[in-house]
């Protein structure tokens, strides 16, 4: 078996893309999207009609929601598992707004014939995002807590009952390379890889049921270093590299018995942990800004198309 086939025997492989052809090629269990991927997907031939329908709508916000749901619906027809759909990053510090938006997206999916059991609502792992997940999970709406850069974020999400969380490997590595002047890391010394390994082992030893899904990879070596993690969401480029790798893949992560418990993370604990961690604080804010900027680009694209002569 190639490395991708071996990886699938020990980890649920998720495609980090909205590209229909790539998903058909690599046959992942799930797929994830975010505003950046929705913006990219909108230009792909497979979504041309969806983009035309969106640009015909007068309400740009409704058009973005429609385009997002159309893309997500197409993805549910290809993958057998979950499709992750992200709430507008502008709402990341407003619990009530995130909950309302998530309910609206689920309602749109249901009207399109897709049940909530096929969708993960992606929320930024702010304190408000964690509280939104707590509310939504109680309603049977599963959540993917994204932009996780610290163990404290992960623990708070798990204690809120989040179905899944996404620690970002590559963005952590990027920060440490820039901060320390390190050109490259041996994979076992890679701070992004170490972060996911720490979260994984902490979750297993404390009996948390929340799924750990490593994300934001910069290399196939980072992916292979987390083989055995619950799930890994990987770009088509890296999936292709793994498919072409005929080497033996060692399992890197193995569950351990749950032997420990810990007290709930309070809001003060959560905020202090972020304030005390320059990397996590900076990358969380940067990630929220980046997703917002790509949503703004999509708004601009739709407005331009709406204004263009017929």
Cα separation values, 248 from 27, 228, 232, Å: 21, 14, 18
Rounded average pLDDT over 195-224: 98
Note the pLDDT of residue 151. Answer: 97
Domain-embedded: residue 271: yes
Note the pLDDT of residue 304. Answer: 85
Higher-pLDDT residue of 10 and 43 is 10
pTM for this entry? 0.95
122 is catalytic: yes
Q: Which domain holds residue 140?
A: 3-302
Domain-embedded: residue 192: yes
- Angle between the 278-307 and 60-76 helix axes, to the nearest 10 degrees? 110
Mean pLDDT of the chain: 95
Q: Within 13 A of 97's CA, how many CA atoms are on the CB side? A: 10
Task: Return the bridge partners of 83, or none.
Answer: 31, 119
Domain-embedded: residue 310: no
Domain-embedded: residue 307: no
pLDDT by residue (tens digit) across 133-178? Answer: 999 999 999 999 999 999 999 999 999 999 999 999 999 999 999 9
State the total domains in the chain.
1
Note the pLDDT of residue 110. Answer: 98
Rounded average pLDDT over 191-200: 98
Domain-embedded: residue 205: yes
Contact 220, 242 (CB under 8 A): yes
Catalytic residue among 25, 40, 111, 122: 122
Domain-embedded: residue 41: yes
CATH number for the domain that contains residue 45: 3.20.20.70
């Amino acid at each position: 078996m190639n490395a991708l086939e071996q990886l699938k025997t020990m980890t649920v492989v998720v495609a980090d893309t909205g590209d229909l052809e790539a998903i058909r090629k690599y046959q992942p269990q799930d797929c994830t999207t975010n505003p950046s991927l929705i913006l990219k997907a909108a230009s792909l031939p497979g979504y041309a009609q969806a983009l035309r329908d969106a640009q015909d709508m007068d309400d740009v916000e409704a058009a973005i929601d429609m385009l997002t749901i159309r893309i997500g619906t197409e993805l549910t027809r290809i993958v057998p598992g979950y499709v992750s759909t992200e709430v507008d990053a502008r709402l990341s510090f407003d619990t009530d707004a995130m909950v309302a938006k998530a309910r609206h997206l689920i309602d749109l999916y249901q009207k399109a014939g897709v049940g909530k059991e096929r969708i993960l609502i992606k929320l930024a792992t702010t304190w408000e995002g964690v509280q939104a997940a707590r509310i939504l999970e109680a309603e049977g709406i599963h959540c993917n807590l994204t932009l996780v850069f610290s163990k404290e974020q992960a623990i708070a999400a798990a204690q809120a009952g989040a179905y899944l969380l996404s620690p970002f490997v590559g963005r952590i590595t990027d920060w440490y390379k820039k901060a320390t002047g390190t050109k490259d890391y041996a994979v076992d010394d890679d701070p992004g890889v170490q972060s996911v390994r720490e979260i994984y082992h902490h979750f297993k030893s404390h009996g948390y049921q929340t799924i750990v899904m490593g994300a934001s990879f910069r290399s196939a070596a980072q992916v292979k270093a987390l083989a055995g993690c619950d799930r890994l969401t990987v770009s088509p480029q890296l999936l292709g590299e793994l498919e072409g790798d005929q080497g033996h893949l060692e399992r890197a992560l193995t569950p351990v018995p749950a032997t420990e418990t810990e007290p709930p993370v309070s809001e003060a604990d959560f905020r202090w942990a972020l304030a005390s961690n320059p990397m996590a604080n900076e990358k969380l804010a940067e990630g929220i800004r980046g997703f917002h900027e790509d949503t703004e680009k999509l708004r601009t694209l739709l407005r331009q198309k709406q204004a263009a002569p017929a």
